[in-house]
Structure 1
Amino acid sequence: MTNLLVFTDLDGTLLDHHTYSFAPAEPALSSLNKLSVPCVINTSKTFHELIELRKKLNHQDPFIVENGSAVYIPKSLSLEINEELEDHGDYWLKAFGPKRETLVHLSDVYRSQFQFTRFNDMSYQDLMLVTGLDEATAKLALMREFTEPMLWKDTDSALDQLRNELSPHDIQIQKGGRFSHLMGKNCDKANAMLWLKSVYEQSGDITTIALGDGENDLGMLSKADIPVVIRSPSHTPPVVPERKDAWLTDDYGPAGWTQAINKALVQLKLI
């Protein structure tokens, strides 16, 4: 029997783009649970943002945070891991880059040279004004561990200049929709996915399916055995580089997610 391993983005994928509901995905989540197929969350969200959401999802599997910066593995899982991991309470932690404090300290050097405002410079009220987040969500979003988002107020060429300055320190800048994110050069959704796949491969061959809807999911999708682009009501589907076999769902968000998971379970003869 094929051992399937699911990797999924959240917003716009497992969660509805507008309402953040996962209700249409519940039947497929239930199927994965009954078949003991791990479903790994791979998101830009922080550890603290995921704690409550995982309770709502009844999520018991590993999860990847802050765009591939770290993997959290519940200690309750009997996975064979051939390296020493950091103890993080109920979880084992595998980090792919420096801690946030290092990023803040490094970027302090450039505050007089470039115009930017980091999360570290903001109160939760500031973040609420910039993003429209509610108070509770804004407070959780500020509790980052491995990345430091910046509200970039300078030119694109200045951003490239800062990238060059930070490169020798093994720090990259990923430009998002609203913020530019300081993070370790090896922090990447695809790297984190492949590392976790190698952990599961200790007990047999693994087929991976990755589901996402955005540009920051493309690395993960391109490295999966089955790449799935979830159709979005807000933007055109991104093209997965060098993959002509990517699936594109008919339905949006979690409804499309269920469609793709069911298709994979049938194709792999798991149901």
Structure 2
Amino acid sequence: MNCVMPYAIFTDIDGTLLNECYALPFDRAILQRAFEQHRVVFASSRTADELVHLQRRLGVSGDCIIENGGALLLRETSTAEQFATSQLFNIENDSVWIAPLVEPVENFMDDVQRETKRHNLACRFLQDLDDETLAAMSGYEQDDARRAKSRRFGILLVPNGESNARIKKLTDGLKLLDFTITFGGKWLTISRGADKGVAMKEYLGAMQKKGVLFTSVAIGNEENDLTMLEAAHKKFVIKNPTRGYASRLASVTGATLLKQDGALGWTEMLAQL
């Protein structure tokens, strides 16, 4: 008898599930059915506060990889118990567990600020922006801007007009100090080892300890999704509407390049499972 393992779909959010206006471009019922039929795990550079709010808005509830793999947001106590450092939080009247996978931002914020000053850059940190400025810069509502600033495991760097060459000097210097730098959307994420692929493996390992096995599926559109796609059994690459496929994702062995533009590729992915 063939034993078919259910799918665990690890999905990026901005540019993958949501379009450039942060909207779901297909019927919400399709997403809700996907949550009923599969294990859908949001995997994003967004914070726990943002993803709890987003799931409520979309009418779904599930586990998440937050802050580019800095931690797992878990809904079930039995899963949280697989991680010794998990803590229970109340986020917008929703009780969730957060299991850190990297060190917290307060441990290294000073180091990043010193390195930025050493290079005499005008870059700004998202956490330092007021809600109104961040909302204008990102297209968020002000409440969403506030949620985006509640970062626990990473720093989002706003280039603020600096050239790519000058930004590269900064990121090269940070890498020498053992920082992890990833690009996703409008921001650079700086952390001590946050990685969506590692977080996905940690999550699947925890589920395996509970006796639950999945066939992993990953879908994304930017460089910060690379390790997640590489680690998944099934890999899907979103076609960015104006830039096409991210070159590093398009070259992942075995990846399916979706034909629909942007987040419409998400339903195309579902049809191929």
- TM-score tier by shorter-chain length is 0.7 to 0.9
**Percent identity over paired residues:** 23
Counterpart of 2:32? 29
Cross-structure match for 1:267: none
Give how far 1:165 is off.
4.5
Q: In the TM superposition, what is the alpha-carbon distance from 1:122 to its structure 2 partner?
A: 2.3
Rounded Cα–Cα distance in structure 1 between residues aligned with 2:128 and 2:31 = 41
> What is residue 267 of structure 2 aligned with on the other side?
258
- Tell me what 1:84 maps to: 84
Instruction: Report how far residue 208 of structure 1 moved.
Output: 0.5
SS for the counterpart of 2:79 is coil
Secondary structure of the 2:115 match is coil
Letter in 2 for 1:147: G
Match of 1:245 in 2: 254
Q: Is the 8 A contact 1:222 1:242 kept in 2?
A: no
Q: Go from structure 1 to structure 2 and tell me whether the alpha carbon gap of 1:110 and 1:187 turns closer, same or farther (over 3 Å shift).
A: same
Map Cα deviations across residues 63-93 of structure 1 (whole Å, 9 max, x no partner): 01111111111135x4385441321222332
TM-score by length of 2: 0.82
How much is the aligned-residue C-alpha RMSD, in angstroms?
2.7
| Compared CA separation, residues 32 and 118, structure 1 to 2 (3 A) | closer
**1:85-135 alpha-carbon deviations (Å, 9 max, x no partner):** 321222332222221222322223335423232224322233234334332
Cross-structure match for 1:54: 55
CA distance in 2, matches of 1:180, 1:88: 28
CA distance in 2, matches of 1:145, 1:156: 27
Aligned residue number for residue 94 of structure 1: 99
Matched, 1:63 2:72: no
Aligned to 1:269: none
Please point out which of 150, 173, 183 is paired with 2:181.
173
- CA change 1:108–1:84 in 2 (3 A) is same
Distance in 2 of aligned mates of 1:80 and 1:101? 23
| Alignment gaps of 5+ in structure 2 | 90-94
Partners of 1:104 and 1:183 lie apart in 2 by 9
| Contact kept in structure 1, 2:180 and 2:191, CA below 8 Å | yes
Amino acid at match of 1:107: V
Q: Which residue matches 1:72? A: 73
Whether the 8 Å CA contact 1:45–1:141 is kept in 2: the answer is yes
| Partner residue in 1 for 2:133 | 126
Higher relative contact order (CA 8 A, sep 6+): 1
Letter in structure 2 aligned against 1:2: M
The count of aligned residue pairs is 260
For residue 208 of structure 1, the aligned residue among 195, 201, 216 is: 216
Give deviations 1:9-61, integer Å, cap 9, x for gaps.
Answer: 1122222334612533632531440x3x2100001111111122111233332
Does the CA-based 8 Å contact 1:85-1:92 persist in structure 2?
no
Whichever residue aligns with residue 84 of structure 1, its letter is: A
Distance, in Å, in 2 between the alignment partners of 1:168 and 1:231 is 33
**Residues 1:225 and 1:151: Cα distance change in structure 2 (over 3 Å):** same
Cα shift at 1:154: 5.1
Q: Confirm whether residue 106 of structure 1 aligns to residue 114 of structure 2.
A: no
Greater alpha carbon shift after TM alignment, 255-264 vs 108-117:
108-117
| One-letter amino acid of the structure 2 residue matched with residue 51 of structure 1 | V
